[in-house]
Amino acid sequence: MVTSRRHLASSPFAPPADVEHPTYSVGERVCHDTYGLGRVTSVESTVAVSIDFGGFTRRVTLPTPRLFHL
């Protein structure tokens, strides 16, 4: 389990920047580094998306650096 550390106000270092993760919608075209081109078939909030890659469907957990919008 990964948890973020609390930033102390007295710290001399800047707080970490909030990272925005991309959101996906049903029917959107995407590209995965391993599986190639596909179309989003279902979205599970910010947890995972199911993608049809033509001959097979995969459930991809989010966030992942391997998935890109087209």
Going from N- to C-terminal start, the domains of the chain cover: 29-69
What residues pair up with 37 in beta bridges, in sequence order?
31
CA pseudo-torsion sign 44, 48, 50, 53: positive
Across the beta sheet with 29-32, the strand order is 57-61, 48-52, 36-44, 29-32, 67-69
The verdict on pTM exceeding 0.85 is no
Q: How far apart are CA 16 and CA 4, in angstroms?
A: 10
The residue ranking higher by pLDDT, 4 or 59, is: 59
Q: How far apart are CA 2 and CA 10, in angstroms?
A: 24
Please report the pLDDT score of residue 2 as a whole number: 58
Q: pLDDT (tens digit, 9 = 90+) per residue, 34-70?
A: 999 999 999 998 899 999 999 999 999 998 889 999 9
